[in-house]
Amino acid sequence: MQSQKNGSAESSSSTPILQLDQITKTFPGVKALDAVRLSLYPGEVTALIGENGAGKSTVVKTLTGIYQPDGGRILLDGQAIKFDTPQSAADAGVTAIHQETVLFDELTVAENIFIGHAPKTKFGLIDKTAMFDRTAEILDGIGAKIDGRVKLKDLGIASRHLVAIARALSVDARVVIMDEPTAALSQTEIEELYELVDTLKAQGKAILFISHKFDEIFRIADRFTVFRDGQFVGEGEIANVQESDLVQMMVGRAVDQLFPKREADIGETILEVKDYCHPTEFEDINFSLRKGEILGFYGLVGAGRSEFMQSLIGITRPSKGSVEVEGVQQDIRSPAGAIDAGIVYVPEDRGKQGAITDLPIFQNVTLPSLNAISNKGFLQLAEEFKLAREYTERLDLRAASLDTNVGALSGGNQQKVVIAKWLATKPKVIILDEPTKGIDIGSKAAVHDFMSELAAEGLSVIMVSSEIPEILGMSDRVIVMREGRMVAELDGDDMNPETLVRHAVGIASTENVT
């Protein structure tokens, strides 16, 4: 836990516009922020770096007035200020471009940009002419070819993103927060975004740039601040730091320690997927999975991995293709059918798809196995607790009692409940979709450990992950998907970061990839 403060005092003459000082925010079961600090300087980009669960989005919500901190101060130009509503944060000139494009489908582009601060006529009505003119001006300014009069729902993802950026520009912002702004963008669009950031810098705005992509951070940021598990770890100037130092600070230990090597004992083929297609989301998926194998699925966000997995377990219907489990053809029409066939899917979206947060732990664990713990449809409470206890203990769950609601647990423990729940069905194949997204380092290691243990016991694992170290550290084999298709199947020496990224982004030569 070494702290690194090279430079913030000595090299910069300017004073920060906005500072967080000893900010703390607690939620039931988690300390999301623990006395953290953060400084944003005019005309400079500060990268906030940290793993999922480090507290980055809590910082964003604190800065935009959505959350009220439990302790600490927010300083604007050195003066303590309270952002008790989103409006007061906006009034102070803080604006955010969010992870999801949080805008309004049924409103026009111009209305989306100007909602809340539209120009008015002398009768107090919204001045449409002025609004459309200003919209065209702003959109031109960022090189976006979007008509201000169309409804937002008619735009694609990238254009929506530009609208969100335009909105941030339309208010007289002093501080612009960009929360993973490149997540859904193509390479050209990312370059355009970089130019935009340079424009904002030139205008003297302070920019908070949240990303976990190192190439981006080194390309665009002037400063960095690192959080880990809700705590401040270090800050400094990008020019004075190496990538490896940042990783060290983020993770708190050497990376290769995270993924302990294990003995692979791979048996016969369990799952065979042939010519699996979907009308819009993916096509021509072919692969087989063997007993005790961990198969990684890598790709960029939106490559169609989750869509394929959800189709495999019967959430959506494929247009063609076949699935065999242990050589027997399966016709899976629902998750219930998939469970019967021995395939379970641990979804990425824990809150929406994985856990029933307002039900107690034991009821969550037994939900997919109700037939096993009941007699002719009648629940056997003793059996139910027995099953729940068996699997939650295997996963080293930490909770006050088994009838605690899942919603009261921390992200890592929720994920343990969710994994326990599907393991309790005694599957042959378990699909883990981003299994360590948004959970703390400790739980992450436990999940990885456990995955190895499961494979060693002969369970076949499919792991969908966007984290390269995780994919490389855990998988025996990796399938890379791009735009709904399988573009590579890698094992052995081909499994390296460079090859993975090259296939995922679709660059043929190795030169263009960092």
Partner 1 sequence: MIAHLKSREALLMGAIIVLVSLVATRFPGFVTPSNLVAVFTDTSPLMILAIGQMVVILTRCIDLSVAANLALTGMVCAMINVAMPDLPVGVILVVSLVMGAFLGAINGILVWKLDIPPIVVTLGTMTIFRGIIFLLTEGKWINAHEMSAHFTAFPRATILGMPILGWFGIVVALIAVVAMARTKLGRSMYAVGGNPHAAVYTGINVGRTQFYAFVISGMLAGLAGYLWIARYAVAYVDIAAGFELEVVAACVIGGVSIAGGAGTIIGTLLGALFLGVVKNALPVVDISPFWQLAISGAAIIIAVAFNAQSGRSKGRVILKSAEHAQ
Partner 2 sequence: MSLAENTTRSIPDRLRSPLRSKVVSWETLLLGVAIGIFVFNSLASPYFLDAWNLSDATFNFTEKAMIAFAMALLIIAGEIDLSVAAIIALASTAMGVAMEMGAGTPVLVLVGLGTGLLCGAFNGALVTKLGLPSIVVTIGTMSLFRGISFIILGDGAFRGYPSDFSWFGQGYVFWVISVELVIFVILAIFFGILLHKTNFGRAVYAIGNNPTGALFSGIRVDRVKMILFLMTGLMAGLAAVCLTSRLGSTRPSIATGMELEVVTMVVLGGVNILGGSGSIPGVVIAAFVMGLVTFGLGLLNVPGIVMSIFIGLLLIGVIALPRLWAMWRKS
User: Taking contact as CB under 8 A, which single stretch among the options 27-35, 183-191, 242-250, 362-370 is the one that binds partner 2?
Assistant: 362-370
**Alpha carbons 400 and 134: distance in angstroms, whole number:** 56
> Which one, 114 or 450, has the nearer CB to partner 2?
450
**20, 72 Cβ separation under 8 angstroms:** yes
Per-residue mark of binding to partner 2, 450-489 (x: CB under 8 A): x--x------------------------------------
Asked if 15 interacts with partner 2 (CB under 8 A), we say: no
Nearest-CA neighbor of 321 among 383, 360, 250, 272? 272
**Alpha carbons 352 and 354: distance in angstroms, whole number:** 6
Nearest-CA neighbor of 480 among 508, 495, 462, 500? 500
> Which one, 244 or 334, has the nearer CB to partner 2?
334
Q: Extract the tokens encoding 482.
A: 């791009």
User: Taking contact as CB under 8 A, which single stretch among the options 202-210, 215-223, 464-472, 477-485 is the one that binds partner 1?
Assistant: 477-485
Q: Extract the tokens encoding 425.
A: 């069905």
CB within 8 Å of 344: residues ≥ 6 apart: 313, 338, 368, 422, 423, 425, 427, 429, 430, 431
User: Taking contact as CB under 8 A, which single stretch among the options 198-206, 229-237, 244-252, 328-336 is the one that binds partner 2?
Assistant: 328-336
Residue 80 contact among partner 2, partner 1, none, beta carbon within 5 to 8 Å by kind:
none
Contacts to partner 1 from residues 127-166, by CB under 8 A = 128
> Which one, 92 or 431, has the nearer CB to partner 2?
431
| Helix, strand, coil shares, percent, the chain, to 5 | 35, 25, 40
Partners of 74 in beta bridges: 20, 81
Nearest-CA neighbor of 481 among 298, 309, 286? 298
**Alpha carbons 316 and 335: distance in angstroms, whole number:** 10
> Which one, 77 or 483, has the nearer CB to partner 1?
483
Asked if 434 interacts with partner 1 (CB under 8 A), we say: no
Shortest distance in whole angstroms from residue 377 CB to partner 2: 5
Shortest distance in whole angstroms from residue 106 CB to partner 2: 17
Q: With helix as H, strand as E and coil as C, how does 316-382 read? A: CCCCEEEEEECCEEECCCCHHHHHHHCEEEECCCHHHHHCCCCCEHHHHHHHHHCCCCEECCEECHH
> Which one, 137 or 349, has the nearer CB to partner 2?
349
Asked if 335 interacts with partner 2 (CB under 8 A), we say: yes
Residue 362 contact among partner 1, partner 2, none, beta carbon within 5 to 8 Å by kind:
partner 2
Shortest distance in whole angstroms from residue 393 CB to partner 2: 6
Per-residue mark of binding to partner 2, 386-425 (x: CB under 8 A): ---x--xxx-xx-xxxxxx----------------x---x
What 3-state class would DSSP assign to 220?
helix
CA torsion angle 229 234 238 244 (round to 10): -70
Q: Which of 195, 340, 393, 483 binds partner 1 (CB under 8 A)?
A: 483
Asked if 445 interacts with partner 2 (CB under 8 A), we say: yes
**Alpha carbons 413 and 410: distance in angstroms, whole number:** 5
Asked if 107 interacts with partner 1 (CB under 8 A), we say: yes
* Binding residues vs partner 2 (CB under 8 A): 315, 334-336, 338-339, 345, 347, 352-359, 362-363, 367-368, 370-371, 374, 377-379, 385, 389, 392-394, 396-397, 399-404, 421, 425, 442, 445-446, 449-450, 453
* Binding residues vs partner 1 (CB under 8 A): 64, 66, 85-87, 90, 96, 98, 102-107, 111, 115-116, 118, 124-126, 128, 279-283, 302-304, 307, 483-485
